[in-house]
Structure formats: structure tokens, C-alpha cells
């Protein structure tokens, strides 16, 4: 990808984030309205929101939604703002592998459960590794499609950190596909976005793929 195109995707990122912030500010419904909407959904499923077992459910669901969608309140650009330059000339791939995440698909609001692998080739600056995990969280805790989330993570790192290259791979299972619809448990969707050296240099890309495959024992 040439510099022009990377700049293009940076603009796209800034615009997307600004649009999301505008939408969020556009008269956010009150908590009471959200709970009433959940009562409506309960009635619509055929149950009675006033029976004892369901009495506290609208409130609990609203609170759960605050957690599931906490990412709308965080600024992904700010997370990567603080960098370190004293790296003794380190210029090899930095990889954070197997970052577990939970997200929700924007088509069914069903859970997406997966893991992300993020690598970049630093150009003098590095970020704290926990920041890469936070970046995944911020984008995961929104309504998503996996392809978009993959691109957003890569584009944000490229824009803010300006490394020589970024590689992001996400593997996830989508409950809208495993527990409903076509019912294909075990199917996983893999998406990747490669920028800079990872896109242009086959050896760098191969090194990334080899590094993420050498994960050894996986716990699931
Ligand atoms: Zn879906």
C-alpha cells in the first residue's frame, strides 16, 4: 500500500470516529427508556416482564449493555498516544498474540468471541503492550463486523504510531452463525489487514504468520 492510500485510510478513520461520536451525542436515550425497551422485547418474546424472575432483568440487561458497549466512551487514538523511544535500536517485529476479546455483531447484536494478533515493525517508537490490548477492547466493545474491526485496529496503529508496517489478524466465531441461522458451531472467521512492510514484503508477512502459528498450547 502506498503512502497516499495509507493517508486515505487515516482520513477514513478520523471521519468514522467523528461520525460515531456525533451519533452517540445525538440525544442518547435515558436509562429508563432503555429499560422500557427491554421490557418490550421480553413481552415480544412471549414472556411477562412483571413476573418475579424477570422483575430486575431490564435493569440488569441495561447494565450489561453498558459493559458490552463501553468502547464508545473511549478514544482509540488517545490510547496509543504515549510512546517510548528508548528501544536501543530495536527494529524487529513486535507481536502481541492471542488477545482474547468479546464483541457483538452489528447485524444481530449476537456475541463474537475471538482472538486478535497484532504486530508492528517499529520506526524508533514503541507503545506499551497493554495499550495494544486496550485498543482491541475499545473497538471490540462496540457493534461490529469483524472485517471493520480488523481494519480499524490496523489503521489506528498506522496513523498514531507510524511504524514501518502493521499486521492484524483476527480469528473469531460468530454466535449469530453458531447458535442460530445456519447453525455451524466451530466455524471461525479469519480476517487480516497488512500495511506497510507486512503488505509489501512477503518475508515480513511470512514471519508474522509463522510467529502467530507458533502459539504452542492454546487453552481452548
Ligand atoms: Zn450477525
Q: Identify the active-site residue in 146, 158, 159, 207.
A: 146
* pLDDT for res 65: 97
The predicted pLDDT at position 27 comes to 83
The predicted structure's pLDDT at residue 215? 60
Write down the catalytic residue from 15, 20, 33, 106. 106
- In whole angstroms, give the CA distance from residue 90 to residue 125: 9
pLDDT of residue 1: 40
Cα 107 to ligand 1 centroid, rounded to whole Å: 5
| 176 annotated active-site | yes
Q: Is 146 a catalytic residue?
A: yes
Identify whether 107 is a catalytic site residue.
yes
Q: What is the pLDDT of residue 13?
A: 75
pLDDT at 173: 96
75 CA from centroid of ligand 1 (Å): 25
Amino acid 216: pLDDT: 53
Residue 117 appears among annotated catalytic residues? no
> Which is the catalytic residue, given 104, 105, 158, 207?
105
Q: What pLDDT score does 16 carry?
A: 77
pLDDT at 76: 95
Q: Verify whether residue 108 is a known catalytic residue.
A: yes
73 as an active site residue: the answer is: no
Secondary-structure class of domain 69-213 per CATH: alpha beta
Angstrom distance (rounded) from CA 137 to CA 134: 5
pLDDT tens for each residue of the chain, 220 residues long: 444 444 445 557 777 778 877 777 778 899 999 999 999 999 999 999 999 999 999 999 999 999 999 999 999 999 999 888 888 888 899 999 999 999 999 999 999 999 999 999 999 899 998 999 999 999 999 999 999 999 999 999 999 999 999 999 999 999 999 888 888 888 899 999 999 999 999 999 999 999 998 865 454 4
| Interatomic CA distance for residues 43 and 94, integer angstroms | 51
Amino acid at each position: 500500500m502506498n503512502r497516499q492510500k495509507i493517508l486515505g485510510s487515516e482520513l477514513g478513520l478520523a471521519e468514522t470516529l467523528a461520525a460515531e461520536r456525533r451519533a452517540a451525542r445525538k440525544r442518547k436515550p435515558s436509562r429508563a427508556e432503555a429499560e422500557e425497551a427491554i421490557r418490550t422485547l421480553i413481552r415480544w418474546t412471549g414472556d411477562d416482564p412483571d413476573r418475579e424472575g424477570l422483575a430486575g432483568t431490564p435493569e440488569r440487561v441495561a447494565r450489561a449493555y453498558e459493559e458490552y458497549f463501553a468502547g464508545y466512551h473511549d478514544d482509540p487514538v488517545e490510547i496509543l498516544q504515549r510512546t517510548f523511544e528508548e528501544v536501543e535500536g530495536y527494529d524487529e517485529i513486535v507481536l502481541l498474540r492471542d488477545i482474547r476479546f468479546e464483541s457483538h455483531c452489528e447485524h444481530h447484536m449476537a456475541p463474537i468471541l475471538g482472538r486478535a494478533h497484532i504486530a508492528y515493525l517499529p520506526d524508533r517508537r514503541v507503545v506499551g503492550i497493554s495499550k495494544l490490548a486496550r485498543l482491541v477492547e475499545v473497538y471490540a466493545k462496540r457493534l461490529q463486523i469483524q472485517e471493520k474491526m480488523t481494519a480499524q485496529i490496523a489503521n489506528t496503529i498506522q496513523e498514531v504510531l507510524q511504524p514501518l508496517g502493521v499486521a492484524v489478524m483476527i480469528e473469531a466465531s460468530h454466535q449469530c452463525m453458531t447458535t442460530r441461522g445456519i447453525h455451524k458451531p466451530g466455524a471461525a472467521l479469519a480476517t487480516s489487514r497488512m500495511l506497510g512492510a507486512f503488505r509489501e514484503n512477503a518475508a515480513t508477512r511470512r514471519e508474522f504468520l509463522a510467529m502467530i502459528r507458533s502459539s504452542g498450547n492454546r487453552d481452548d
